[in-house]
Amino acid sequence: MATFLYKLGRLSFRRRHFVALIWVALLTLAGVGAASAPAAGNSSFSIPGTEAQKAFDLLEQRFPGTSADGATARVVFKAPSGEKMTDPGNKATVQATVKDLSDGSEVVRVTDPYRAKAVSKDGTIAYAQVSYKVSGMELDDAAKDALKDSAQDARKAGLTVEIGGDALQAVPHTGSSEIIGIAVAAVVLVITFGSLVAAGLPLLTALIGVGIGVSAITGLASALDLGSTTSTLAMMIGLAVGIDYALFIVSRYRAELAEGREREEAAGRAAGTAGSAVVFAGLTVVIALVGLSVVNIPMLTKMGIAAAGTVAVAVLIALTMVPALLGYAGRKVKPMGEKGKLLGRAKKQDQPARPNLGTRWASFVVRRPVAVLLLGVIGLGAAAVPATSLELGLPDDGSQPVSTTQRRAYDLLSEGFGPGFNGPLMVVVDAKDSDDPKAVFAETGDAIKGLKDVVTVTPAQPNKAGDTATITVIPGSKPSSVTTENLVHGIRDAGAGIKADTDANVLVTGSTAMNIDVSEKLNDALVPYLVLVVGLAFLLLIVVFRSILVPLKAALGFLLSVMAALGAVVAVFQWGWLSGLMGVEQTGPVMSMMPIFMVGVVFGLAMDYEVFLVTRMREAYVHGEKPAQAVVTGFRHGARVVTAAAVIMMAVFAGFIGSSESMVKMIGFGLAIAVFFDAFVVRMAIVPAILALLGRKAWWLPRWLDRALPNVDVEGEGLRTASGDDDGDRELVRV
């Protein structure tokens, strides 16, 4: 592989006009396709195999035109102090608002609070429910504006009015987060390279790669039913890895220049050595993202595949466009050790080279491996302790900031009708195969009334055929509580008994039940996903490092960093530690998607650092250095670059902590802290300590497996042999 990439790098350097033209043409083509493609709506959200989804599908069949998955809005009214919602003036205001809300073209129905008995017992709070034909993401801006205007008119009349539900749901905008990440990345790159030109190359290529990837996703969104949120993960991951991959190749190019090679030769060698590491690092990220499909949630599968495609583009750009741009840059990109005018003069030839920080740190770890290893493992273990009390759930309006109308509506409904009113359960009774459907409906209602934590059970509402009915159940606890989850399982257990007696199916659905089913599905998929992703990457790393213990150590270190990161997430978002500093206004269960999402994304990124750092160690070892010295050599060449890459990655993710969306905030914090633990504790401390302790055993591989594995030549041995380098006559170590 190194030889092929070497030739590709030299060709891209030499034919840079042609390479640049190809990528600019692809960017233009993707941009035109995105601009001319139909606007993406909300991806059809379905959770195959769950009871809640089966109930939704049944409702669409038996209750045609009801739009079971359509958006809803709860317009909550509160009377001024000392007044009641039943006072004539307040009642007239509410009825006028209901009439205004009914005029929308996408509105299916609006309930009158006074007819639907939607007034609190003390008479101070009432609500009107608006049902729409389409989901919240697909709702026209005109319909949302009409909803807000109606509420504002009621406020002018003296009422307190807030709007809950998903009708005002919007795609989270995180543009400022990318800007923050890019700005920090630019500063780190300038410090790393000491040159604006060298620092600009990774930024430029990363932006081109993200532009192509996101534009392609936008262009295909309508045809492939990709939701408007699909590009968020692709942009986040594509930007981070795009900068990192280009950073590694540019750094290796400067190191090759420092050894006295011509620029075209240096570009070829950078592509052949660092480029090989980029290919395998990219493959681990792609495996982790595509592996999300095992969860069998279509939306998550599409997000993973779209992000994986963007990573593949980032790899191709790093291998071709980076060498081409190095050709354009010429002497403006200086050899390693030299500084441009921006940060100082070049060092004098007779000036002794002072060991860099990476060399000094690695030398310390090699001298004290046991102490460093114990400190790192104990520290990560302590950080992981909160993860033992992890509670999973999906966010609702109760987790929104108190400044939002959704959160204030949630609080008003809890005040007037109880906390469970914000998460009603819809029970669907399919009595088509039953002899007496009406009796089944009554029996189901009575069975539910006998369960714990049930506040209200509405009478069954049958369809026109009379063979299916819906029953609304109001729990006594808030939607995200364990008590409500137990109630859902209790209703389903009671339904199993009814089915045995009457052949009627009892299904529980609604947003609360759907959230519970999604959480359980994600939790059940976590172990198979871990086995698949870690197993495939383990095999891949065996090929790269030609070792058993190094990939095993990499996988175990990753598990340590992920558990520590989950512990930090629990401490902040569930326990409330440092919640004020992070802007967390409401603690609660951790988003159910978080563990599997962190495993997928962080594993791919963690293996980046493993590949880039350890390949330099192996390269030094196979060319004759002792194991301990090879560790120091790897750090001398790679620690500065890996540190810069990790800081850039953390900056990109940390920018999302400022989002007002609790889910986005949690993802940003979780990924940023996971990268910190993995890069600086696992890869920079635990990994060299273990390699120092293992010595030559770290690179052991059974001879039969050595013969069976393909030789991918990540170290560039083929390049050394072909060019007759000075160290080509050095005896190679067989590993």
Q: Over the stretch 582-622, which tens digit does the pLDDT of each residue have?
A: 767 667 778 877 888 788 777 777 777 787 788 778 878 87
44 pLDDT more than 60: no
186 pLDDT more than 50: yes
**Is 227 strand, coil or helix?**
coil
Kindly state the helix (H) or strand (E) to which residue 111 belongs, with its residue range.
none
Q: Give me the percent of the chain exceeding a pLDDT of 90.
A: 14
| The model scores a pTM over 0.85 | no
Determine the straight-line distance between the first and last CA of the chain, rounded to whole angstroms.
19
58 pLDDT more than 50: yes
The CB density around residue 253, as the number of other CB atoms within 10 Å, is: 30
Name the residue with higher pLDDT: 93 or 581: 93
Q: Over the stretch 699-708, which tens digit does the pLDDT of each residue have?
A: 888 888 888 8
Distance CA 629, CA 365 (A): 11
CB environment 544-576: b (16+ within 10 A), e (fewer):
bbbbbbbbebbbebbbbbbbbbbbbbbbbbbee
Proportion of the chain in helix, strand, coil states, percent, rounded to 5:
65, 5, 25
Mean pLDDT of 402-424: 85
Predicted pLDDT of residue 523 = 81
Burial of 415 (0-12, 13-18, 19+ CB in 10 A): middle
- Phi-psi sector, 291: left (phi>0), alpha (psi -120 to 50), beta: alpha
Task: Please give the radius of gyration of the chain, using alpha carbons only, rounded to the nearest integer.
Answer: 30
- Please name which of 413, 440, 375, 384 lies closest in space to residue 689, comparing C-alpha atoms: 375
How far apart, in Å, are the Cα atoms of 482 and each of 376, 476, 478, 511, 664? 35, 12, 9, 15, 23
β-pair type (468-475, 461-462) = antiparallel
Distance CA 598, CA 563 (A): 10
Q: Over the stretch 494-508, which tens digit does the pLDDT of each residue have?
A: 988 888 888 889 999
Mean pLDDT of 335-353: 54
Average pLDDT, the chain: 81
Q: Over the stretch 118-169, which tens digit does the pLDDT of each residue have?
A: 888 888 999 888 888 776 666 777 888 888 888 898 898 889 999 887 777 6
Mean pLDDT of 562-586: 83
How far apart, in Å, are the Cα atoms of 525 and each of 296, 437, 489? 9, 37, 20
Distance CA 620, CA 623 (A): 5
Local confidence band at 463 (pLDDT 50, 70, 90 cut-offs): confident
Mean pLDDT of 443-452: 90
Got the DSSP string for 124-155? SEEEEEEEESS-TTTS-HHHHHHHHHHHHHHH
Cβ-contact 75, 151 below 8 angstroms: yes
Kindly state the helix (H) or strand (E) to which residue 553 belongs, with its residue range.
helix 549-569
The CB density around residue 477, as the number of other CB atoms within 10 Å, is: 19
Local confidence band at 45 (pLDDT 50, 70, 90 cut-offs): low
- Please name which of 176, 166, 97 lies closest in space to residue 138, comparing C-alpha atoms: 166
442 pLDDT more than 70: yes
In the Cβ-directed half-sphere of 308, how many Cα atoms lie within 13 Å?
19
**What are residue 127's DSSP bridge partners?**
76
Burial of 694 (0-12, 13-18, 19+ CB in 10 A): middle
Q: Over the stretch 191-230, which tens digit does the pLDDT of each residue have?
A: 877 778 888 888 888 889 888 988 887 777 666 666 656 6
The CB density around residue 497, as the number of other CB atoms within 10 Å, is: 12
**Is 172 strand, coil or helix?**
coil
